[in-house]
Chains A and B, each alone.
Chain A
Amino acid sequence: MLFVSLRDLQWRLRRFVIGVLATGLVFAIALLISGINASFQNEAKRAVRAFGADQWLVSKDSLGAFNTATPLDNGPGIAAEVARLPGVRAANPVLIFPFTVTKPSVRDLNVIGVVPNGVGAPVVTEGRGLKRQGDLVADKSAGLKIGETLRLHGIALHVVGRTSGISYNAGTPTVFVTFDDSQHLFFPGGKKGDLVREFTKGEASAIVVRGKVTRPPAELGVRTNAAILTDLRRPLKKATETISFLRFLLWIIAAGIIGSVLYLQAIERTRDFAVFKATGVSSRTLLVGITLQAILLAACAALAALAIAWALGPTMTLRIEVPPSAYLALPVVAIAVGLISSLFGLRRAVTVDPAVAFGGA
């Protein structure tokens, strides 16, 4: 009896195709949203991992190094002290702060000051790492090329290397400079002997450590990479939760589209269902037919979604990282959506009175 359902889809092919494309677009958007959400999670993980630290030392009242850091005065001095602690193989200060470039156009950057070749120094995928003041390593997402010069607050910074995939705060690109240069950028206009802030003491967001600190210096707290990651992700938590909710709403919209297509068909097929019943076709057979149509529509929509997402993904300004689990989940969700949405038509088919078949034209 499956041929009846297939023939019906053929008969209403145009509507079926529209249903597939509309549902496919919704599925595709859901897929892309999954990719954006995953991107937010992954980029934070990559950013923390880029420091290559085992532990982080921050001021005792700070939850992390990115968002809730209370600057540590004399970072290099503290780092040297920490490096001498038992169980510590290396320790260096890092200064992490957002920076807005205004020329030639306004753009946001994450600036990280690190000690060249020290803990926290980035692994480059192109060019070389930081060696001296004036060097800058930029993530590819910043759009800077090796050899390019960036002039920030009067300091000429030369791009000597590039990293890949290091961004945070919703795709904001990251640049690495030497710890000393970061002081100039962090305190623009400051100079040696400044009464307000003696910047050469070396303000640091954290001390990044290789090894294990068992007894940190007074006023400092030890944070794991996981704690740092949580701190980094926190500002985007509501955004990611909202995105997840939107994705859920999109599944419902998809179910609504499939449901309305099938319900409309069920209304149009009322006489057919009545005739089927009057000629001995069981309700169960009708249910299987409608469910098959729903699953077929949803499965075709899932395939269309893959194509649409593949085409739309590169056009997004945000990095899209659709997790493999999302691709695997798509057909499962699609079938679930199809089954749920088929309920709209199922009720119609089950409740139709075979006596309707006796009505006139």
Chain B
Amino acid sequence: MGSNLAIRDLVIEYSSGGYPVRPIDGLNLDADSGQLVLLLGASGCGKTTLLSVLAAILTPTSGSVRVGDTEVTKLRGASLTEYRRHTVGIVFQAFNLVPSLSALENVMVPMRAAGVGRRASKDRSAALLERVDLGHRLTHRPGGMSGGQQQRVAIARALAHDPPVILADEPTAHLDYIQVEGVLKLVRELADDGRLVVVATHDERLIPLADAVVNLTPRADTSPREPEVVRLEDHQVLFKQAERGDLVYMVEEGQIEIVRSRDDGTEERLAVIDAGNYFGELAPMFGLQRSATARALGAAVVTGYGLRDFREKFQVASPKVLADAAD
């Protein structure tokens, strides 16, 4: 279907609460037709943001996204509408069906908007709903259907123009395990039909279905590593806001200033860390980007510890598992 996806040096930055946030920073990705690609990660890691860019709904800060021969970031006006209609089909997180329309009419909307005749769009919608096993629910409104059924209507709608790329945002988020099974099967079938299916999810149960997984939230590195001593000159930056990092730092000598950049280019000082105190533990613990910049106030010496060493040295407890469903 010509749906090869090539993402190069993709950077997405936006403003949140007055601070610049960069959930995607230099992403590169290649995927082919017939593949099911999982964008895996916790909330706020940029999965949905990345899907929005693939759907040509959000313009990235920099980088390139190519689907087949189309450079998505360059699309404007009519070609943008055309791309959204014919190249990508979207399955939204909360189904996002129109409550006043029946299942059949919800699927008809993209086709009618593209100028497909009433009869033709009706017939194709009925066939698509038949394909997702909802042939008996054509005239039902979303309010009268289960979450799984609504999700299947949403998938049928995404297939309206038989697009080569399907984007699905948390397709299992609102479903119980019985409904999940049917939806997962359907998602896999979409890829098997030769489409490129990109699924954003935090649900690791989908991993066995995928052909490729893009982990947008790197796991904390708990492997043992030697402590790293860093000597800093006045104003020398130890790490920058939005960078990824896997070390927790202890101030041995001098002071470290923690500052956060604002949208307008100014900085806000959050704290000054004196000798004997540690900082920067949240990013490696939770796989987050650094939420602030650390730099020396005068000459300073810090030691960087891996997460395991940090926990052992400073007796920071790991959470205790109280119960396991497998037991």
A residues neighboring B (CB under 8 Å): 1, 3-4, 7-8, 10-12, 271-272, 275-276, 278-282, 285, 353-355, 357-361
Contact = CB atoms under 8 A, between A and B. Distances in A.
Given A278-B90, A360-B93, A360-B173, A4 B81 contact: no
A266 to B, nearest CB: 14
Contacts of B113: 1, 276, 279-282, 285
A204 B100 CA distance: 74
Contacts of B309: none
A357 B101 contact: no
A11 B110 contact: no
Interface in B70-95: 81-82, 84-86, 90, 92-94
B58 interface: yes
Contact of B92 (A4, A8, A282, A357): A357
A8 B100 contact: yes
Given A3-B105, A358-B169, A279 B93 contact: no
B210 to A, nearest CB: 21
B96 A357 contact: yes
A357 B81 CA distance: 16
Nearest to B80: A280
Contacts of A11: 99-100
B51 A358 contact: yes
Chain A CB count within 10 A is highest, among B94, B96, B170, for: B96
A29 to B, nearest CB: 32
Closest 7 CB pairs of A and B: A280-B85, A11-B100, A361-B94, A281-B113, A280-B84, A7-B100, A279-B110
B94 A360 contact: yes
Contacts of A355: 52, 57-58
Given A1-B109, A275-B92, 15 more contacts: A4-B98, A7-B98, A8-B100, A10-B100, A275-B98, A278-B55, A278-B90, A279-B157, A280-B86, A281-B110, A282-B113, A358-B48, A359-B94, A360-B93, A360-B170
Contact of B84 (A278, A353, A359, A360): A278
A310 B113 CA distance: 42
A275 B89 CA distance: 11
B128 to A, nearest CB: 14
B112 interface: yes
B114 interface: yes
B174 interface: yes
A124 B110 CA distance: 71
A281 B84 CA distance: 9
Given A11-B99, A278-B57, A279-B84, A359 B93 contact: yes
B92 A280 contact: no
Contacts of B55: 278
B67 to A, nearest CB: 15
A281 B113 CA distance: 5
25 contacts: A1-B109, A1-B113, A3-B112, A4-B101, A7-B98, A7-B105, A12-B100, A272-B98, A276-B109, A276-B113, A279-B84, A279-B90, A279-B109, A279-B110, A280-B86, A280-B114, A281-B110, A281-B113, A282-B113, A355-B52, A358-B57, A358-B92, A359-B94, A360-B94, A361-B94
A277 B170 CA distance: 20
A12 B86 CA distance: 32
A145 to B, nearest CB: 61
Contacts of B99: 11
Contact of A4 (B109, B157, B169): B109
B281 to A, nearest CB: 29
A272 B98 CA distance: 6
Contacts of A8: 100
Interface in B88-137: 90, 92-94, 96, 98-101, 105, 109-110, 112-114
Interface string B147-173: 000000000010011000000011001
Nearest to A283: B81
Contact of B85 (A271, A279, A357, A358): A279
Contacts of A360: 93-94, 170, 173
Contacts of A357: 57, 90, 92, 96
A11 B143 CA distance: 12
A360 B98 CA distance: 15
A275 B158 CA distance: 11
A222 to B, nearest CB: 71
Contacts of A281: 109-110, 113
Contact of B112 (A1, A272, A275, A358): A1
B174 A361 contact: yes
Interface string B217-242: 00000000000000000000000000
A226 to B, nearest CB: 59
Contacts of B86: 280
A12 B96 CA distance: 18
B171 to A, nearest CB: 13
Chain B CB count within 10 A is highest, among A8, A276, A279, A355, for: A279
A247 to B, nearest CB: 36
A7 B112 CA distance: 15
A354 B94 contact: no
A276 B84 CA distance: 10
Nearest to A285: B113
A359 B95 CA distance: 10
A7 B90 contact: no
Nearest to B113: A281
Contacts of A361: 93-94, 174
A10 B99 CA distance: 11
Chain B CB count within 10 A is highest, among A3, A280, A281, A353, for: A280
Contact of A275 (B48, B81, B82, B96): B96
Nearest to B51: A358
